[in-house]
Amino acid sequence: MDLAGLAVLVEAAQAGSLAGAARRLGISPLMATRRLAALEEAMGARLMQRTTRSLALTPEGEAMLPFAQAMLENEAAARASVRPSSAGASGLLRLTASAAFGRKVVVPVVADFLTDNPQVSVDLLLTDTVVDIVGQGIDLAIRIAHLKDSALIARRLADNPRGLYATPGYLAARGTPAAVADLAEHECLCLSGTTHWSFAGDGRERRVRVRGRFTANSIEGLRDICLAGLGIAVLSEWDVRDEVARGALVALRLSDGALEPLAVWGVHPSARFVPPKVRLFMDALAKALR
């Protein structure tokens, strides 16, 4: 079987169109169509049902897809096995990260990574929504969270310390909370849909109901309103290090609890073969976070 045709099948299934597959593979839509047709002829079966508006796998295509993915992974693994480690990474690396972390941390690492690996190109998706990395053809997702069980593979890259922050002006006007229960009397800036904050202390978890006049679906929004002196926010240390250093924000310490820690994870689709571009980028990001 022609691996080029298999690549079209896999990318078209993920992108939902032959045009999308062609863009991902760096070929023309006509070439993608021809390669898929040649694969179908070689298999003696129609693998995709194509109309002017949609594209979907046939039952034969559904059965073929996992084998196509495995064969492409094996080919990539074979190439990587004979590629000297000193040669660095190559190919297109598709990344996704949250907007704030991506702009502040990931983008500078990408800049250095591109400089150190001239045969790599990067496509970075910054979004605060959880991306289906398999469905969208993402090689690596950078996530800050408690990870749930899934078929994806995760590597812990670094701790992600968080804290409560407010401006000196807010604390002068409203007072400084000393204990977890005191937060109920304050303007708490929360992510949309959040009703409680969880703290660890004395060997147990404590949850306190929080409320405020502002919520947002973005950490950047919470950070900016916090800097405006309108409340207390849960923020990561990497996000406010400069503001704390110059006195624009104050880190709060509660006597009976601390925020549950999170970690920075690199999440990718397969454990059987981690492409050098993915492994080397995770190494670079982990080093930067240290």
What tokens were used for 173?
């006007």
Domain termination residue (choose one: 58, 82, 106): 82
Residues 243, 250: Cα–Cα separation, whole Å: 8
Q: Which residues pair with 263 in a beta bridge?
A: 145, 159
Higher pLDDT, 283 or 77: 283
Mark whether 126 and 254 lie in a shared domain: no
167 shares its domain with 136 = no
Q: How many domains does the chain have?
A: 3
Residues 105 and 97: their CA atoms lie apart, in Å, by 10
CA dihedral for 268, 271, 275, 276, sign (positive or negative)? positive
What is the CATH number for 190?
3.40.190.290
The 3-state DSSP class for residue 189 equals: strand
146/258: higher pLDDT: 258
Give residue 159's pLDDT band: very low, low, confident or very high (50, 70, 90).
Answer: very high
For the chain, what is the mean pLDDT?
Answer: 89
* pLDDT(51) > 80: no
The CATH number that applies at residue 47 is 1.10.10.10
**Nearest by Cα to 279 from 18, 45, 90, 74:** 90
Helix (H/G/I), strand (E/B), else coil: 196: strand
Predicted confidence (pLDDT) per residue in 186-219, tens digit: 999 999 999 999 998 777 788 889 999 999 988 9
Q: What percent of the chain has pLDDT over 90?
A: 62
Helix 237-245 and helix 219-227, axial crossing angle in degrees, nearest 10? 20
Residue 29 lies in domain: 3-82
